[in-house]
Structure formats: C-alpha cells, structure tokens
Amino acid sequence: MPRWKGVLRCRAHLPRPVVQGVGLCFLTFAIILPSFCHRLLYSYYFLRSLYLDSMSDQALAESYRRGQEALRFWNGPNSAPPPGVTHLAAHKSRPRLLVTVVTARRTEGREYHYLLQVMQQLASLLAACQGPGCPEVLVCDVESGPQGNEDVSLLEKRFRVVRSAEEEPVKGGAYVNTFEKEKRDYVYCLRRGWELLEPRNVVVLEDDALPRPDFFPVIDELLSRAFSSRSLYVKLYHPERLQRYWNPEPYRILEWVGLGLVGGGALLLLCCCCSALPCSALHLLFFALYVMAATELLGRHYLLEVRRLSPQLYAVSPATECCTPAMLFPGNASLRVAGYLDQEFCMKGRAKDTVLYQIVRSTRGERAHSLEPNLITHIGAFSSVRANPTHPRLL
C-alpha cells in the first residue's frame, strides 16, 4: 500500500477534535503568527538575519536626529527657564519628588547627546506642571576626566548642577575599577540630592534613560499606593528582551498560567456556544496551553504595552536583578540605599544592580519592586563605563 494511503487511513481513525486541534495549532503557529510577527523585535518569530541590522541602523539614526535637535534646543533661547520659574536659586526644601540625572562624559557616541535628549524631555514634561508641588531636577555630573562633560554646561542656566569631581578628588590617584567607581558615583548623587533638598521621594535616572510622556503621572500613581512606603526601591525599567514569560521569575509563570486559564476558558465557552464541542477539563487544558504558547511566541512585551492606556493599569511585581537606569526611592530610602552600597565592593560580575538585588534578598524587612511596562526608554547604544561594540544592535 502506498505510504500516503496509510497516512490517510490513520487520519481517518483520529477523533475529530484531535484533527481540529492539530489544524488550529498549525494554522496559528506555522502561518498566522509568523506572518504577523516576523518584524516584531521581541517576538520569537523575529527574523534577526533579515531585519536586525536595518532596525538597529534606523534606531541609531533616530537617536542621532533627536540628539542634534536637543543640542539646538539647549543652544537656543528656548532653553531659558519660563518667566517666574527659577531652578537655580531659592529651591524650596522638601519637594515631593526630586529627579536626579547621573551623567558622565562618553568617549564614544558623544554626537548622540543622550543627556541633552533626556533633559529636553524632562523640560517638556515639567512645562505642563504649574504650582509649588512640581518635581525638582538635579543634574549630577560624575565626570572625573580632565576634558569635562561639555553637555552639562549647556544645562546650568536651567537646572541645578553638582559635580563630584570638584568636591571629591581621587585620593592618591588610587585605581578603582569601573564597576566600583560607578557605584561610588551613584552613592554620591544619592547623598548630594538629599543634602541639597531633603526630598520626600527620589527618582534617579542615568543619562541615557529617556522618560516616557506619562512619566510623572505614573510616578504620582505609584507613590499613592500603599506598597511604595514599604519599598526600598522600585525599578522603572527592565530590558524588553528579558520580559518573557519563560523566565526564572516565579510570578511570571503564575501570570502566564493565569492568562492561559482565562483566555483558554473564554475560547472554550466561545466554541461551546458556536458548535457542539463539549466543555470538558481536557478541552480547557488544550485551550489554556494554546493561549500560553501563542502569547509567549508573540511576546509578553507587546501585551504589557496595553497597560499604558492608564497610569492605574501599570503593574508592580517583585524586583528583578538586572539594570538600574531608572529607579524610584520612596521616602528616605535613597539614604538607606547609599548606606547599604557603601558597605559593598563592586567588580565585574557584581555591579551595583546585582548588589542591590542581593541586599534586598538578604536584609530582613526590605522589599523591592519592578514596574511594568517600562517607564523609560533606554537610548544608550554607547556606554560611558563599559566597552562598546563596533556596531551597536538593538538585541
């Protein structure tokens, strides 16, 4: 008997629901999702070999355009403070929120002017705020090289600037590794902001963390929630490529299973109403696994974007380990963090983000959280403290 006739005979003996399930999976995972997701950067279907280089070049070109626009803005007359607004003098103590931007001079990628991009965005967001309760902004320049950070000088007419190199010279020229210096600079900026203004809450941004348009409304919403007063810090950014469900973070597995049960249950009810399919536990399990597989392959990042519809929809979860470009320190937590970091020594493989994560896990009573989706866009293709690739890529 020809082989194809045997295959058809076996198919004829398979139950109809099994054939329908196999057909649905083939249609979804082999045709529909690949057709719609092959250009989505954080999808499993993304075709890196075809699109990654071109998308990376486009991102660099867009960042360069924004950087040059920001340079023109801060060199122009529009960079002056609005009438009646003073950022350099008569700062009121105890502002509800202080945004400290930590910056250093980059040896590569200076033409992108990351700091100027971030500060232009902050200036635009602050322009919508009127009254005594508006956030304060502090630029903390930790550049210790002889050339200085030329972009910072453009901001002094609009924002308060402090410089660690002027006040804390290196003693005896002792060598400090890059990761330890980065930590010390971070601690200096945390303490300096508190000394100057004694803020009620602090957000620390690295100079390549571009705030999103809803930055301040979401921060206000976070501070209004009860959990914030019990948090050592709230991370406002986690790399998109690490936001998948298939991840060591336990809460994401629970979220994934819950999404599968809810979505699978809805699909099962729909099928039961539109056909004679019986509603059984086995069918629910199939649809739950179907939804879980579809959402993971599509990319959790794109589901999180729906939460941007309202500040109240942003989710808070246990803190993740990686990366500190944007951090919220409620209350006087910034001083506690500075004290904790002072007791630790950073090195390769044990940078300040890893140290902070270990401190929370090992210190009784301390809690830390992460916000989803991200509240900033990480625009820094060129690092100021680490080696840079010859051709930066988005992934």
Domain match, 236 and 249 both: no
pLDDT at position 271 over 90? no
Tokens of 294: 């579809």
Torsion 112-114-118-120 (CA) sign = negative
| 3-class SS of residue 318 | strand
Domain match, 235 and 278 both: no
Please report the pLDDT score of residue 91 as a whole number.
55
Domain match, 148 and 233 both: yes
pLDDT (tens digit, 9 = 90+) per residue, 272-302? 887 766 778 888 999 999 999 999 999 999 9
Is residue 293 within 8 A of residue 29, CB to CB? The reply is yes
Q: Domain for residue 59, yes or no?
A: yes
Q: Domain for residue 227, yes or no?
A: yes
Distance CA 320, CA 315 (A): 14
Domain count, the chain: 2
Q: Domain for residue 6, yes or no?
A: no
User: Domain end: 273, 298, 323, which one?
Assistant: 298
Domain match, 62 and 132 both: yes
Domain containing 223 — which CATH number? 3.90.550.10
Domain match, 252 and 194 both: no
Distance CA 345, CA 337 (A): 14
Distance CA 256, CA 245 (A): 6
Torsion 242-244-248-251 (CA) sign = positive
pLDDT (tens digit, 9 = 90+) per residue, 60-104? 999 999 999 999 999 987 666 655 555 554 555 789 999 999 999
Domain match, 294 and 343 both: no
Q: What percentage of the chain reaches a pLDDT higher than 90? A: 68
Q: Domain for residue 2, yes or no?
A: no
Distance CA 51, CA 240 (A): 17
Q: Domain for residue 391, yes or no?
A: no
pTM, two decimal places: 0.90
Which of 33-47, 62-76, 160-174 bottoms out in mean pLDDT, i.e. has the lowest?
Answer: 160-174
Tokens of 315: 């989710």
> Given pLDDT bands bounded at 50, 70 and 90, which one contains residue 172?
very low
Domain match, 201 and 321 both: yes
Domain match, 268 and 129 both: no
Contacts of 89 (CB under 8 A, 6+ apart): none
Domain match, 103 and 167 both: yes
Domain match, 290 and 366 both: no
Residue 285: domain span: 16-46+245-298
Q: Which residue has the higher pLDDT, 17 or 173?
A: 17
Q: Domain for residue 327, yes or no?
A: yes
Domain match, 69 and 42 both: no
Q: Specify burial of residue 117 (Cβ count, 10 A radius: 0-12, 13-18, 19+).
A: buried
pLDDT (tens digit, 9 = 90+) per residue, 360-379? 999 999 999 999 999 999 99
For residue 102, the surrounding DSSP H or E stretch is strand 98-103
Q: Domain for residue 363, yes or no?
A: yes
Please report the pLDDT score of residue 247 as a whole number.
82
Domain match, 111 and 233 both: yes
